[in-house]
Amino acid sequence: MPVKVLIVDDSGFFRHRIEEMLKGDPRLEVVGTAVNGKEAVDQVKRLKPDVVTMDVEMPQMNGIEAVRIIMREAPTNVLMLSSLTHEGARVTLQALEAGAADYLPKDIRAWMDKNSSVRGQLIDRLVALGRTRRFRRSSALERSFPGRETSGTSMVFRPDDPAPTPRTSRPERPAARAGTAAENRRAPVSRPAPAGSSDAPTTPASRVQFPDCKLLVIGASTGGPAALQKVLTTLPANYPYPILLIQHMPKTFTQVFAERLNQQCQISVKEAEDGDSLRPGLALLAPGGLQMMIDPRQKDRVRILAGDERLTYKPSVDVSYASAAKTYGSKVLGVILTGMGADGCDGARLLKQAGATMWAQNRDSCTIYGMPQAVVNAGLADAVLELDDIGPLLARRGAR
């Protein structure tokens, strides 16, 4: 059955443009439209769509408030559409904290260009989100809204839906890596371990031993902002390791996201700049549109570079993992969180070949089980963990 889509936007142009983009793809069916948040809530309850595209700024009720009500009364995956401005990034992150699953920048020039990649991105996200039945009611930060009950970042399911069976995202082409010709050669493919399947059992936290490491590197995509917030807010201010964060986001969004995390966390978080130092208790977030690597000449500093233009993701988890493997070898703990595609799998293979440790988020706690699944299927995960366990396991090492 096709994924049922509800389009919510006060702009007639965008409602028509989105519907036009989705026509012709047999995997999707537009079941209705709404012009404001109040109408969106009513339509979600009546039409029961699989996924909603949601504008942010609308009359009567804005997109953020609509998401809060939808996630409380009729949980449905919501894809936010917002402008590529500082304010657009700020309100989009608020919507993600309220329970929205993902977002897509709303650049009118790209949306009007019939040769743009926006249509493919929109369809890929809607299909992926529409085929999963996991929803976040809200993040822990929603407790700041008085008089509203919250449930943390726990996943919820539609009562009338069968058990979720998310489709594996189509693997991306292997990412090219910056560096010398020798460094850019593809590493030999390792034989998958017996546990390397999409149904690999979740590892009990009590059985996980923290490795001997000097660097923590975390990669994420769809659902990543909420997952990263969940993990990082558990870490103490005196955390003993430097942290690199790679989240698929455009430039404006990474700057705002780093600022929000810095306000929410005990550790320090900043958008990485070329030459920034690696130091304990500091998390450096890769800037959107660029690649973050460790300076091979100064192992305590990062380089922020444009990277290869052929790379699908900017920033790319593969690039940062590969750089960490080359520089720190076995002293790296790599963590792969929720996200579409397979970015991070090639880099995880290099980390494992260097003797490093890899943790992957488990299927049940992912918004989209794509990136972690690729790592698990390749037999590269030392532990497959519930999201709720990852932060406390990391924090336990920091409480010394």
What's the confidence (pLDDT) of residue 194? 37
Strands 135-136 and 155-156: antiparallel
Q: What is the pTM for the complete model shown?
A: 0.84
Residues 24 and 48: beta-carbon distance below 8 Å = no
- Give the mean pLDDT of the chain: 85
Strands 77-82 and 102-105: parallel
What's the confidence (pLDDT) of residue 167? 36
Q: For the segment 160-197, what is each residue's pLDDT rounded down to a tens digit?
A: 333 333 333 333 333 333 333 333 333 333 333 334 44
Domain 3-139 has CATH 1.10.3330.10: no
Q: In this model, does residue 153 exceed pLDDT 90?
A: no
Domain 3-139 identical in fold to domain 193-398: yes
Residues 84 and 62: beta-carbon distance below 8 Å = no
User: How far, in Å, CA of 54 to CA of 63, rounded?
Assistant: 6
Q: For the segment 7-53, what is each residue's pLDDT rounded down to a tens digit?
A: 999 999 999 999 999 998 999 999 999 999 999 999 999 999 999 99
Which two tokens mark 74?
């009729």
What's the confidence (pLDDT) of residue 159? 39
Ranges of H-type helices in the chain: 12-22, 37-47, 63-73, 86-98, 108-112, 118-130, 181-184, 224-232, 251-264, 317-328, 345-353, 371-377, 387-398
Residue owning tokens 């455009």: 250
What's the confidence (pLDDT) of residue 400? 54
Per-residue confidence at 137, pLDDT binned at 50, 70, 90?
Answer: low
Residue 220 forms beta bridges with which residues? 247
What's the confidence (pLDDT) of residue 190? 32
What's the confidence (pLDDT) of residue 127? 96
186-215 average pLDDT score: 68
Residue 217 forms beta bridges with which residues? 244, 334
Residue 267 or 252, more confident: 267
CATH number of 193-398: 3.40.50.180
Q: For the segment 347-369, what is each residue's pLDDT rounded down to a tens digit?
A: 999 999 999 999 999 999 999 99
375-389 average pLDDT score: 97
Biggest alpha carbon–alpha carbon distance for the chain: 60
Per-residue confidence at 116, pLDDT binned at 50, 70, 90?
Answer: confident
Q: What percent of the chain has pLDDT over 70?
A: 82
Q: In this model, does residue 271 exceed pLDDT 50?
A: yes
What's the confidence (pLDDT) of residue 199? 66
Residue 284 forms beta bridges with which residues? 244, 270
User: How far, in Å, CA of 186 to CA of 237, rounded?
Assistant: 38
What's the confidence (pLDDT) of residue 113? 77
Residue 70 or 152, more confident: 70
What's the confidence (pLDDT) of residue 26? 96
Which residues carry out catalysis?
A: 221, 248, 343
Q: For the segment 385-397, what is each residue's pLDDT rounded down to a tens digit?
A: 999 999 999 998 7
What's the confidence (pLDDT) of residue 307? 77
Q: In this model, does residue 145 exceed pLDDT 50?
A: no
What's the confidence (pLDDT) of residue 110? 77
Residue owning tokens 């993990």: 231
201-215 average pLDDT score: 94
User: Domain ranges in the chain?
Assistant: 3-139, 193-398
What's the confidence (pLDDT) of residue 293? 97
Per-residue confidence at 112, pLDDT binned at 50, 70, 90?
Answer: confident
Q: For the segment 285-329, what is each residue's pLDDT rounded down to a tens digit?
A: 999 999 999 999 999 999 999 978 788 899 999 999 999 999 999
